[in-house]
Structure 1
Amino acid sequence: MVNRVFRTALLTVLSCGTACGIALAAQAQTTAPQTTAAATSAPADPVVARVNGEAIHRSDVTRMVSQLPPQVQQMPIEMIYPAVLDQLVSGKLVASAGYKDKLADTPEVKDEIKRAEERAVQRAYIQKEIKARITPKALDDAYQAYLKQNPPQEEVKAAHILVEKEDEAKAIIAELKKGGDFAKLAKEKSKDPVAAQQGGDLGYFTKDAMVEPFANAAFAMNKGDISKEPVKTQFGYHVIKVEDKRTQPQPGLDEVKPQLEQTLSKDIVTALVDELRAKATVETFQMDGSPMPKEEPKPADAAPKAEEPKKK
């Protein structure tokens, strides 16, 4: 079963064409692991197999795993290693047979190698430009823009008791006014099973996280208030207790750095391609090689008529 999965995945990897090009190259800059001092001091890349004297290294295994589907990559390496190694051995045997038949010299293979080289150069160039252009200043500018676009929001920490009928809610409010315990009543009477287990506690939430009638009521209340009238929503009738209010803290740069780098990478690739196009001579043709039809010039807007003199 595992071998069949890897054979399918291997075919997918080997058939990856131009679609694996520019768009994925931008993503590689932010997802590729960075070289560290520990990595440079790691032992040499060991040989893990030999096929007719030709070595297969651990790095070949790592590269193969990185190209497999995410659900397979998440499996323990000890479990998938034998299948990966088996596929690498099979690949070496097939490639050796192809070289023996001098298929490397055929126009088809040379063309495919050229295209693979072109994709690799695309990725390398884009990664180089992304690395050069994501400067500390560019990252800080993006962070400041993010903070402006995502201002701190007010949050409320509230608890509620949900019942089906308005009279039930009014009876609970009356009981609370007499000193009833909110958490105890929530556990006994609330129709919201998840919140009821926590004494009705909903935690902190922003206004847009709740349905409008509930949010409007909760955010209009002060810390310590209990709703004086039931709040009706599509779920039933709520009795709300506001336990705290605060301003939501904004994330630090380190928290949003991966997201900012990904956005900057996409913007850089778009700008880079625009720059290259502006300097290039590009000719496009129809699928049969014939010239593209010329666009019909848009009719010029009719000249405005001279304004007639106003009658006195």
Structure 2
Amino acid sequence: MNLKSTVLMAAIAVILPLSASAQNVAVVNGKPVPKARLAALMQQANRAGQPVPPEMEARARDEIVLREIFAQEAEKRGIAATADYKSQMELLRQTVLIRELFADYQKKNPASEAEALAEYEKAKATSSGSEYRARHILVEKEDEAKKLIAEIKAGGKFEDLAKKHSKDPGSAENGGDLDFAKPDAYVPEFGKAMAALKKGEMTEEPVKTQFGYHIIKLEETREAQFPAFDEVKPQLMQRLGQMKLQKFQEELKSAAKTDYKFAQ
């Protein structure tokens, strides 16, 4: 072997360990800890929706090296051969397999924009009609409600009396304002009485519900408002994806041959 060959072989001997080292995060007791393990741990954090700042990679490196140290010790002590370890590993194997199955299905069967638009139009069609903006004053006793009605008719300001007397914490501070809603958003007695009013009118008699006695004043009405498709598209796509996955799960369940009877 000439001098040139000797130098070349020496260079290769140096390069090979460096190349192998580039594939590993560390070597623990002679066993390499591959970078692929670090990538898998970082990917798990991403899947869980956790933020992954730059300093997290340093913590992840520490974690996988510590895991290797502890795992090697567990192997030495024969823990991998115990029945408890094997049963837990079987559950873990199934968990990972199922997770990957569902992820693969969703990747290959995404919800389409056309499907989301069809769902949007269906929901929009059932949401037509009128919305009512009303104010109310809620009190415990009918006599108290009647006195307040008389006071309003005598010139008392509805908003001020609502702030002072209403027992509804959600609207009292706003002068009894309930914003826009459909009648079916309220208990039947309230919704029916509100829908019977004309703009600016107030109920002549207290309206009794399970909450107490209400005085209702109708401020205005409008056609039901519905968000634009682009505003709700992400939520629709997500919901349709979940529905597809649920259908896939049910199909697998129905097709399986088993003597087991599911509770539901």
Residue 151 (structure 1) aligns with? 127
Residues 100-144 of structure 1: CA deviation (Å, up to 9, x unaligned): 99x99xxx79x969868854763454234313xx33333333333
Matches of 2:214 and 2:161 in 1, distance apart? Answer: 13
1:1-312 correspondence runs (5 A): 50-52=26-28, 54-56=33-35, 59-65=39-45, 73=50, 86-96=62-72, 119=98, 122-123=101-102, 125-131=104-110, 134-148=111-125, 150-254=126-230, 255=232, 256-257=235-236, 258-268=238-248, 270=250, 273=252, 277=255
Letter of the 1:62 counterpart: M
Higher helix share: 2
Matched residues in 1 for 2:193 and 2:155: separation? 22
Shift of 1:259: 2.0
Deviation at 1:242, TM superposition (A): 0.9
What is the TM-score of this pair, normalised by structure 1? 0.55
Task: Point out the structure with max Rg over C-alpha.
Answer: 2
Aligned residues with identical type, % of pairs: 32
TM-score by length of 2: 0.63
Q: Deviations over 1:176-206 (max 9, x none)?
A: 2232211111122223344221111122222
Q: Report Cα offsets for 1:206-247 as digits up to 9, x if no partner.
A: 223322221211111122111111112233221111112223
- The structure-2 alpha-carbon separation of the partners of 1:151 and 1:179, relative to structure 1 and needing over 3 Å to count, comes to same
Q: Is the 8 A contact 1:130 1:268 kept in 2?
A: no
Q: Secondary structure at the match of 2:135?
A: strand
Aligned CA RMSD, in angstroms, stands at 4.4
Q: Is this contact kept in 2: 1:156–1:244, CA < 8 A?
A: yes
Alignment length (residue pairs): 225
Alpha carbons 1:158, 1:203 under 8 Å: kept: yes
* Contact kept in structure 2, 1:61 and 1:85, CA below 8 Å: no
- Matching residue's letter, 2:108: E
